[in-house]
């Protein structure tokens, strides 16, 4: 194992720099799936987070605890649940989308939504604490206040969305189970790495690993730059 | 655009406010009319800020009622405005912050723009219009808060210790602006524990202690000779 | 402000198009549930393009352990089953979940072990005798332990040898609960014996000290069967397209394609469909 690693690494770098078509296809699918999932998760999670942040209702603390617990949901468990849901033998079997990209998008969207909801709740609640009296004084109703808070927190919300995307693109538990890792159809970076590694075939696995790590790095760097820019602009 | 019927007088009928087991406002019945600048004075913990918020509608009294001369429409908030002790600014430019209040009040884009620019100019902030509001100095931000309130041309302007956190220069600027706004026709109702500010700005004093109105008089008369023991002690800087 | 709004619209458009493009590419395809060892042998990479080229039908292979592959069929999530556990397959048909089972090909299992060969089984032709020797010296042995066809075959051999390996669980008998590849990885790092299918072994790159020690015993032959998931139970099953695949794979052309798959010049699968 030791002496083959440098060779595998070199081959991996060649695959990446040469834009090997199989590698590109897998990477593209990963990005498409996770990106779609994050868009859905944001559209669902942001309003939930904003509402919980601003509204007061009985059981609110319980909902917050549940939300925070949900984003520690193990991906495999979620994968299993969605699999049972989408299977022909399950309640949503009619859709016939098990083992297709839409199933993976749905599963990842469910995975990421609590992350976005929980973090946005925190950010918006902090902002609400600061702005509540002033916004009430100016006559904002709950809906207007929520929109104002969302827009005001946009940079911190952006980093939340980036974090959600990072989680989606790096997870393997849900997409493996609901996607089936079908060659050319539902094989994404993480499931491909798992497969190639289990075959003892390292160059492609390492190549994908390099791309995935690079992607995660870019996401974090972007989040950092955004946060710094916001701080400089708004103090 | 001023509505024909005035909001004032504002009448508080037997208002109490309790929180955390404590009676912060202990039965206040008072009527505030449109004449002059009213300053609500008293030591810390007297309940002044709570009373102000009850008048403005940010807090609901535990019992009793707050009655304006005319009932305001649900989204007609712009007839009264409030400036807080610490200016609260959104993460936007100075101009955008002023425009925000105007947007909530329902003004159209062109009029929002005009009013916002005029307000900034009035408060000497036009050169900072594009600057991010939160990086301005304390005094500039408080002036901006005043500009935001003034742009709405409210009938009543509530102010909660507006100069408590400012240096003397900024304090002078704010007080001048307040006087100007009052002179232009807005009713000023200001809360402070600062004797100097009260002496400079008040036409009328409402002295509050321990959640109750102990005294009410014209400013000159009050400072010359207060009728209550507590007010006298307060004016002379004694602990109450 | 405007830039951000424009970016948002773009984002939603791209995300939406992601799913639209998929729907638009509504080609003819079937879903085949098969096993990880079959996929990892590389057979599908060789066989399916020939089939698709001839019929225009794409084949999506979901590769799982035999147990799960059959469960997928039971639930109706696949159209065709292509596994190698005759007993389980016949039960599948008897229970009404599958129809039209046909034998397709066989490959063989081989016993892999460390060059140091502590149980002294290398070069032998008797797999049951080899198993007995391994248990006698308590040499490390890795099992897949995942209800796969390979696992089932391994357990049958232990039974024939009159040994209950589970008694040695945790000491010399190690169950990984995973596929052929990961289990081979584990054996390689432990220098343990392991029963593997020839296909996965030939493709396996991380051999370390491992080598083939026993092969050729009749009892090591591994029969593959193909069948349609019962459309009576699951009406949505693509029975015509699925049947096309089944008919092709047992036809002369399909059988020849199977025989034509070689790794390093060695044939892996031996077609034996009945005429």
For C100-134, write each residue's pLDDT tens digit.
999 999 989 999 999 999 999 999 899 999 999 99
pLDDT value of residue A51: 86
**pLDDT number for residue B3:** 56
B212 touches chain A (CB under 8 A): no
- pLDDT band of residue A109 (cuts 50, 70, 90) is very high
**Does position B224 have pLDDT exceeding 50, yes or no?**
yes
Cα separation, A181 vs C39, whole angstroms: 11
pLDDT tier for residue B2 given thresholds of 50, 70 and 90: low
- Which chain A residues touch C61 with a CB distance below 8 Å? 182-183
Cα distance from C136 to chain A (closest Cα, Å)? 30
DSSP state of A89: T
DSSP string, A143-166: HHHHHHHHHHTHHHHHHHHHHHHH
Confidence tier at A2 by pLDDT (50, 70, 90): very low
* Helix, strand, coil percent values for chain B (each to nearest 5): 40, 25, 35
Query: Which of the residue ranges C3-7, C40-44, C82-86 would you say has the lowest mean pLDDT?
Result: C3-7
Quick one: what percent of chain A has pLDDT higher than 70? 98
**Rounded-to-integer distance, Cα B86 and Cα C68, Å:** 64
- pLDDT per position as a tens digit, B71-83: 766 554 568 999 9
Chain-chain contact of C77 with A181 (C-beta, under 8 angstroms): no
C86 to chain A, closest Cα gap in Å:
24
Classified as helix, coil or strand, B184 is coil
Report CA torsion sign: B217, B223, B227, B231.
positive
| Beta carbon pairs, A and B, within 8 Å | 46
pLDDT at B118 over 70: yes
Mapping DSSP onto H, E and C, the string for C214-258 reads: ECCCHHHEEEEEEEEECCCCCCCCCHHHHHHHHHHHHCHHHHHHH
Q: How confident is the model at residue A162 (pLDDT cuts 50, 70, 90)?
A: very high
Summarize pLDDT for A208-228 with one digit per residue, the tens: 999 999 999 999 999 999 889
Lowest mean pLDDT among A23-27, A53-57, B162-166, C80-84: A53-57
Instruction: Please give the model's pTM, rounded to 2 decimal places.
Output: 0.81
ipTM of the shown complex: 0.90
The H or E element containing residue B213 is strand B212-218
**Using a CB-CB distance cutoff of 8 angstroms, which residues of chain C are in contact with residue A200?**
181, 184-185, 203-206
- For residues B207-229, average pLDDT: 91
* Token pair for B208: 């509050």
How many contacts, defined by CB atoms under 8 Å, are there between A and C? Answer: 88
Whole-number pLDDT of residue B79: 86
CB atoms near residue B179 (< 10 Å): 14
- CA-based torsion, B126, B130, B132, B136: positive or negative: negative
C-alpha–C-alpha distance, residues C89 and A219, integer Å = 48
- Give the distance from CA A46 to its chain's centroid: 13
Q: Nearest CA to CA, how far is B11 from chain A (Å)?
A: 19
**Residue (of B225, B198, B222, B189) closest to B36 by Cα position:** B189
C19 has a pLDDT exceeding 60 = no
Q: Flag whether pLDDT at A9 surpasses 80.
A: yes
Return the closest-CA partner of residue C210 out of B83, B132, A200.
A200
- CA dist B145 and B123 (Å) reads 10
Q: Check if B112 contacts A (Cβ < 8 Å).
A: no
By Cβ distance, the residue of B56, B58, B134 closest to A235 is B134
pLDDT band at C24 (very low <50, low <70, confident <90, very high): very low
How far is Cα of residue A213 from the mean position of the Cα atoms in its chain?
Answer: 15
How many other C-beta atoms lie within 10 A of the C-beta of residue A113?
25
Instruction: Give me the pLDDT at residue C266, please.
Output: 84
Whether the upstream peptide bond of residue B9 has omega within 30° of 0, thus cis, is yes
- Helices A142-152 and A154-170 pack at an angle, to 10 degrees, of 70
Burial category of A227 from C-beta neighbours within 10 Å (exposed 0-12, middle 13-18, buried 19 and up):
middle
Closest-CA distance, A223 to chain B, in angstroms, reads 18
**CB-CB contact of A182 with A101 (8 Å):** no
Q: Tell me: the pLDDT tens digits for B91-109?
A: 999 999 999 999 999 899 9
Please classify residue A191 by burial: count the beta carbons closer than 10 Å to its beta carbon, then call 0-12 exposed, 13-18 middle and 19+ buried. buried
- For A234, the closest of B58, B91, B105 (CB atoms) is B91
Kindly state whether B60 is in contact with chain A, defined as any CB-CB distance less than 8 angstroms. no
Is B58 in contact with A148 (Cβ distance < 8 A)?
A: no
How high does pLDDT run on average in chain B? 90
Is the pLDDT score of C154 beyond 90? yes
Q: Which residues of B, range 77-96, sit inside 8 Å of A by Cβ?
A: 77-78, 81-82, 84, 88, 90-92
Q: Do B100 and A138 touch (CB under 8 A)?
A: yes
List all chains that touch chain C, counting a touch as 3 or more CB pairs closer than 8 Å: A
Long-range CB contact pairs, A55-58, < 8 A, 24+: A55/A142
Do residue C206 and residue A200 have CB atoms under 8 angstroms apart? yes
> Do the Cβ atoms of C15 and A40 come within 8 Å?
yes
Of the candidates B164, B176, B119, B120, the residue with the CA atom closest to the CA atom of residue B138: B164
SS3 C206: coil
Residue A4 has pLDDT above 70, yes or no: no
B223 touches chain A (CB under 8 A): no
Euclidean distance between CA atoms C169 and A25, whole angstroms: 43
Query: Residue B51: its pLDDT value, please?
Result: 95
Q: What is the mean pLDDT of residues C238-265?
A: 94
Residue B81 in 3-state DSSP? strand
> Cα A220–A224–A225 angle (5° rounding)?
120
Which neighbouring-strand residues pair with C211? C113
The residue of chain B nearest to residue A129, with distances taken between CA atoms, is B88
Written as six digits, the tokens of C90 are 């016949």
Q: Which of A130, A131, A139 to mutate to test the interface with B (most CBs of B within 10 A)?
A: A139
The answer to whether the Cβ–Cβ distance between A98 and C77 falls below 8 Å is yes
């Amino acid at each position: 194992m030791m002496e083959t690693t440098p060779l595998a690494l070199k081959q991996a770098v060649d695959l990446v720099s040469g834009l090997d078509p199989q590698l590109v296809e897998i990477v593209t699918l990963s990005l498409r799936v996770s990106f779609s999932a994050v868009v859905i998760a944001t559209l669902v999670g942001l309003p939930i987070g904003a509402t919980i942040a601003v509204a007061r209702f009985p059981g609110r603390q319980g909902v917050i605890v549940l939300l925070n617990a949900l984003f520690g949901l193990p991906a495999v468990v979620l994968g299993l649940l969605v699999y049972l849901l989408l299977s022909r033998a399950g309640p949503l079997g009619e859709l016939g989308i098990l083992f297709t990209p839409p199933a993976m998008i749905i599963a990842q969207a469910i995975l990421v939504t609590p992350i976005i909801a929980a973090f946005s709740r925190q950010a918006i609640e902090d902002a609400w604490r600061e702005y509540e009296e002033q916004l009430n004084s100016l006559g904002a109703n709950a809906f207007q206040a929520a929109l104002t808070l969302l827009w005001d927190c946009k940079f911190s919300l952006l980093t939340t969305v980036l974090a959600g995307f990072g989680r989606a693109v790096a997870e393997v538990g849900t997409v493996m189970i609901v996607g089936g890792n079908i060659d050319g159809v539902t094989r994404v970076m993480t499931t491909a790495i798992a497969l190639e590694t289990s075959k003892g075939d390292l160059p492609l696995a390492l190549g994908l690993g390099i791309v995935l790590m690079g992607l995660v790095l870019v996401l974090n760097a972007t989040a950092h730059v955004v946060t710094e820019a916001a701080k400089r602009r708004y103090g | 655009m001023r509505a024909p019927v005035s909001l004032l007088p504002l009448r508080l009928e037997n208002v109490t406010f309790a929180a955390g087991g404590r009676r912060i406002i202990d039965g206040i019945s008072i009527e505030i009319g449109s004449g002059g600048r009213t300053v609500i004075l008293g030591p810390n913990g007297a309940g002044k800020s709570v009373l102000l918020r009850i008048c403005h509608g940010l807090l609901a009294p535990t019992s009793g009622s707050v009655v304006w001369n005319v009932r305001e429409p649900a989204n007609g908030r712009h007839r009264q405005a409030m400036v807080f002790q610490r200016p609260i600014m959104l993460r936007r430019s100075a101009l955008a912050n002023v425009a925000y209040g105007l947007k909530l009040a329902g003004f159209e884009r062109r009029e929002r723009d005009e009013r916002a620019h005029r307000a900034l100019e009035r408060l000497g902030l036009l050169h900072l219009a594009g600057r991010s509001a939160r990086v301005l100095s304390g005094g500039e931000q408080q002036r901006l808060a005043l500009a935001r309130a003034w742009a709405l041309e409210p009938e009543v302007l509530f102010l909660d210790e507006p100069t408590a956190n400012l240096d003397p220069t900024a304090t002078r600027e704010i007080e001048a602006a307040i006087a100007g706004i009052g002179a232009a026709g807005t009713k000023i109702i200001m809360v402070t524990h600062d004797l100097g500010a009260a002496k400079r700005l008040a036409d009328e004093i409402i002295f509050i202690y321990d959640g109750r109105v102990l005294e009410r008089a014209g400013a000159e008369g009050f400072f010359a000779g207060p009728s209550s023991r507590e007010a006298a002690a307060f004016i002379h800087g004694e602990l109450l | 402000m405007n830039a951000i709004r424009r970016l948002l619209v773009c984002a939603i458009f791209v995300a939406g198009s992601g799913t639209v493009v998929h729907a638009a590419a509504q080609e003819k395809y079937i879903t085949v549930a098969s096993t990880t060892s079959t996929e990892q042998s590389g057979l599908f990479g060789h066989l399916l393009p020939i089939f698709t080229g001839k019929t225009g039908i794409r084949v999506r292979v979901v590769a799982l352990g035999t147990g799960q592959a059959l469960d997928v069929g039971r639930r109706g999530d696949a159209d065709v089953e292509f596994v190698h556990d005759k007993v389980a397959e016949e039960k599948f048909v008897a229970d009404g979940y599958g129809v039209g089972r046909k034998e397709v090909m066989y490959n063989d299992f081989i016993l892999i072990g460390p060059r140091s060969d502590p149980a002294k089984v290398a070069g032998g032709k008797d797999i049951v005798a080899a198993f007995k020797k391994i248990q006698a010296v308590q040499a490390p042995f890795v099992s897949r332990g995942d209800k796969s066809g390979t696992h089932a075959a391994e357990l049958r051999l232990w039974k024939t040898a009159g040994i209950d390996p589970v008694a040695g669980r945790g000491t010399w008998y190690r169950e990984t609960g995973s596929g052929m590849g990961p289990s081979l990885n584990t054996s390689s790092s432990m220098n343990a014996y392991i029963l593997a299918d020839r296909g996965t072994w030939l493709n396996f790159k991380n051999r370390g000290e491992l080598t083939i020690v026993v092969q050729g015993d009749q009892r090591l032959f591994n029969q593959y069967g193909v069948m349609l998931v019962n459309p009576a139970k699951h009406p949505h099953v693509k029975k015509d397209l699925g049947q096309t695949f089944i008919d092709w794979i047992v036809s002369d052309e399909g059988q020849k394609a199977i025989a034509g798959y070689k790794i390093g010049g060695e044939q892996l699968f031996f077609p034996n469909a009945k005429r």
